[in-house]
Amino acid sequence: MSTIKKTNRREFLNNTFAGAAAFSILPSHVLGGPKNTPPSEVVNVAIIGAGGQGLVNVRELLREDHAQIVAVADPTAEMSYANFYYKSVAGRRPVAAHINRDNEKRGRKGRVCAEYIDFREMLEKQGKDIDAVLIATPDHVHAVAATTAMKMGKHVYCEKPLGQNIHEVRVTTEVAREQGVATQLGTITHASQNYRRVVERIQSGTIGDVREVHIWCDDGWAPANRPKDTPPVPEWLDWDLWLGPAPYRPYHPRYVPVTWRSWWGFGNGRLGDMGCHFIDLPFWALDLKYPLTVEAEGPPVHPDGPPRWLISRWEFPARGKQPPVTLTWYDGDKRPPLLKEKNLPDWKQGVLFVGSEGMLVADYGRRELYPKQKFADIESPPQTIPNSPGHKTEWLAACKGGVPALCNLDYTGPLTETVLLGSTAYRAGQKLEWDALNLKAVNCPEADAFIRREYRKGWEL
């Protein structure tokens, strides 16, 4: 297992948001290396993870003029997602077929998307033709796939969260910085106009000093005991490869597809699923980095899966002229009490900024100031954040030597660590005093069991 390199606190804080150097790419045979290719060329992308979310990403990439998908890897040949929000059939075969149909439609003769079961084999056999990878596997494979690719000089777009535990997120962030590759986390709402206008409003001082942020997200997963029966593995699935770095357990249909999020071995429940999307907004607007403490409450901890509901609370220090901030997350059927107390909108999901001069409530596409009467005639602040050309477009431009994408790992690594700290505190059962430099809960050594994990042979970071 990789170890975190030692550094002093000043170096750690200075490096946290240092822009990762982004190099131009394309096949190494062009100019002798993946980082020395003319920026006018397209980016050859390989897909790692061709499930429902992988298909979503493929469809988006196919709309990009500067991307070409050359290979797909997934241990699932074909699987129906008809009973889930994807409402489609996915897996390496249908996804590769979708890509090849697009090639034919565009008149790209001779371009065939290759299929692989194991992404490691794909990178080994076809690495010279691959400039970048897009990772859309279950969470427990994210970090291993990302670090493997980056150590080969490949640029990485990874679905959120960046990893399944805090330690592997830190390692992945450091590998990205060391390799100088272009990265982007799949926090796609960061590219929305609404999020950018919210950040401008908060940073303009309209609602004054913000000391509280409340975030709520509907739904949750009820934990269950691990299945005891052992049905046969479907012929379309390589179960051992699907497990990847996770400890071995027998196959069961309660793990795949999608429902893997409700098991600690693979995901982190609703917070792990949606936390990076919503906590991204206050992280950006308030220049947050690492919290000082974190605590959580919920139903009694279940050894196999996340809770039906969770409330997590992080305390952040002052930043320059900005005061300390307490950020609270609610999921399941829990909501911030302030919504009722102040007669604020109880949307299914939202972010509430509480300032000294007012409040702002936002979700993916809406933003409202309160009290409404006070802000009825207020003008919009100056637009200081350019509109995004697209989340993947930003990343592809960075791959070709442009500026780092806004959700590069120097920003989203600390964001993901903070998110995963919420479930870590819940599982540890006490408020954690957090030493971000050393990835330690100084008052709770028992938390180490949830900060890092062991990896199966052949799947180490």
Mean model confidence pLDDT for the chain? 92
CA 86, CA 43: separation in Å to the nearest integer?
27
Which alpha helices (H) appear in 26-165, and where do they start and end?
A: 52-61, 92-105, 119-126, 139-150
pLDDT at 410 over 70: yes
pLDDT at 29 over 60: no
CA 46, CA 119: separation in Å to the nearest integer?
9
Please report whether residue 85 resides in a domain.
yes
394 lies in the same domain as 373: no
204 lies in the same domain as 183: no
Non-local (6+) Cβ contacts of 77 within 8 A are 91, 92, 93, 236, 237
Scan for tokens 């249909």, then name that residue.
253
- When pLDDT is cut at 50, 70 and 90, the band that residue 40 belongs to is low
pLDDT at 39 over 80: no
Q: What value does the mean pLDDT take over residues 53-64?
A: 98
373 lies in the same domain as 437: yes
pLDDT of residue 27: 38
Give SS3 for 160: coil
Please report whether residue 230 resides in a domain.
no
- When pLDDT is cut at 50, 70 and 90, the band that residue 9 belongs to is very low
Tokens representing 12 are: 């750690």
433 lies in the same domain as 289: yes
42 lies in the same domain as 171: yes
Please report whether residue 170 resides in a domain.
yes
Beta strands in 152-292 (DSSP E): 155-158, 183-185, 210-218
* pLDDT: which is higher, 88 or 85: 88
184 lies in the same domain as 321: no
Portion of the chain with pLDDT greater than 90, in percent: 88
Please give the tally of structural domains in the chain.
2
- Look up the CATH number of the domain holding residue 217: 3.30.360.10
140 lies in the same domain as 119: yes
pLDDT of residue 222: 83
Q: Which of 182, 191, 206, 170 is nearest to 132 (CA)?
A: 182
175 lies in the same domain as 203: no
Please report whether residue 299 resides in a domain.
yes
CA 429, CA 188: separation in Å to the nearest integer?
32
Q: What value does the mean pLDDT take over residues 84-102?
A: 95
Non-local (6+) Cβ contacts of 320 within 8 A are 287
pLDDT of residue 220: 82
> 424: domain range?
192-222+264-382+420-443
Scan for tokens 């970048």, then name that residue.
132
pLDDT in tens, 326-346: 999 999 999 999 999 999 999
DSSP 219: B
pLDDT at 1 over 70: no
Separation of first and last alpha carbons in the chain? 6
pLDDT in tens, 144-170: 999 999 999 999 999 999 999 999 999
Non-local (6+) Cβ contacts of 266 within 8 A are 138, 139, 140, 164, 246, 255, 260
Query: What distances in angstroms separate CA 386 from CA 197, 213, 392, 406, one per listed residue?
Result: 10, 25, 16, 11
pLDDT of residue 221: 80
162 lies in the same domain as 207: no
Please report whether residue 310 resides in a domain.
yes
Please report whether residue 180 resides in a domain.
yes
pLDDT of residue 8: 41
pTM exceeds cut of 0.75: yes
Phi and psi for 393 in degrees, rounded to 5? -65, -40
Contact between 323 and 211 under an 8 Å Cβ cutoff? The reply is yes
pLDDT of residue 213: 99
Please report whether residue 412 resides in a domain.
no
pLDDT in tens, 346-385: 999 999 999 999 999 999 999 999 999 999 999 999 999 9
90 lies in the same domain as 161: yes
- Look up the CATH number of the domain holding residue 171: 3.40.50.720
375 lies in the same domain as 291: yes
Please report whether residue 452 resides in a domain.
no
377 lies in the same domain as 396: no
Q: What value does the mean pLDDT take over residues 313-334?
A: 98
- When pLDDT is cut at 50, 70 and 90, the band that residue 13 belongs to is very low
